[in-house]
Chain A
């Protein structure tokens, strides 16, 4: 079955960087975008950006441009999201999600990874 398995929880100091991985299985990795979405405690879902593993094209939400980098290694069907210059407000659960697309229907996310808690604290 299609599955996304993320790396474990991280604790980082303000100003540091974090890199979260997302291992895909059960489908052709290069055929679908990988999206990243986060949820801070008590807040809603926030889309961060997407990456096409077939060529590496990315599109980042304006809020994260300059601080986020989304990459992949197709040989091990794994996507990565690196967020730099961390601050306390970046404490959140980070999810990866496969993008699905049908012309004239749009794009959606299915399935999602289990989430990775990133805590930023001095």
Chain B
């Protein structure tokens, strides 16, 4: 299976900060990479698909980039509602896998 490794595992940031989360695949996955936001007690929400396409309804402060093995999710100006756990997910192989998650906490 393709392993997805996110860094950092957690981070503390303030409202208004620029936040970058990295996801690395154990082999090249082209741009078959998606990002989700997950808040405790709620269903995960799709943010970015195909590495850089913003899902409809998602604020433009979220952006994704990368291809091959290295990807990033950027929040340009962190808002109070953005404190959550973020997951990357690959769909390159037949069996799909998630990263371990990055928890974004209030500083």
Please classify how large the interface on chain A is, using the bins under 10, 10 to 19, 20 to 34, 35 or more.
20 to 34
State whether A62 and B31 are in contact (beta carbons under 8 Å apart), knowing that A47-B89, A47-B98, A95-B44 are contacts in the complex.
no
State whether A105 and B100 are in contact (beta carbons under 8 Å apart), knowing that A59-B94, A61-B95, A112-B44 are contacts in the complex.
no
Which residues of A are found within 8 Å of B32, using beta-carbon distances? 105-107
- Would you call B91 and A108 a contact (CB within 8 A)? yes
Interface of A is mostly: strand
- Would you call B46 and A109 a contact (CB within 8 A)? yes
- Would you call B95 and A105 a contact (CB within 8 A)? no
State whether A62 and B50 are in contact (beta carbons under 8 Å apart), knowing that A105-B31, A106-B34 are contacts in the complex.
no
- Would you call B55 and A45 a contact (CB within 8 A)? no
- Would you call A113 and B100 a contact (CB within 8 A)? no
| From B31, B95, B101, contact of A106 by CB (8 A) | B31
Which residues of A are found within 8 Å of B50, using beta-carbon distances? 102, 105-106, 108
Interface of B is mostly: loop
Please classify how large the interface on chain B is, using the bins under 10, 10 to 19, 20 to 34, 35 or more.
20 to 34
- Would you call B49 and A108 a contact (CB within 8 A)? yes
Interface mask (B17-51 → A, CB under 8 Å = 1, otherwise 0): 00000000000001111101010000111100110
Which residues of B are found within 8 Å of A106, using beta-carbon distances? 30-34, 49-50, 91-92
Which residues of A are found within 8 Å of B31, using beta-carbon distances? 105-106
Which residues of B are found within 8 Å of A113, using beta-carbon distances? 43
| B87: interface (CB < 8 Å) | yes
A42 to B33: give the CA distance in the assembly, Å.
24
Shortest distance from the beta carbon of B58 to any chain A beta carbon, whole Å: 11
- Would you call B43 and A45 a contact (CB within 8 A)? no
| From A45, A59, A111, contact of B95 by CB (8 A) | A59
12 more A-B residue pairs beyond the given contacts A61-B1, A106-B32, with a C-beta to C-beta distance below 8 A = A37-B44, A45-B101, A59-B95, A62-B1, A95-B43, A106-B30, A106-B34, A107-B32, A110-B46, A110-B55, A111-B45, A112-B44
* Complex A-B: 12 CB contacts under 8 Å: A35-B96, A44-B100, A45-B38, A45-B98, A59-B94, A106-B30, A106-B33, A106-B50, A107-B91, A108-B46, A108-B49, A111-B43
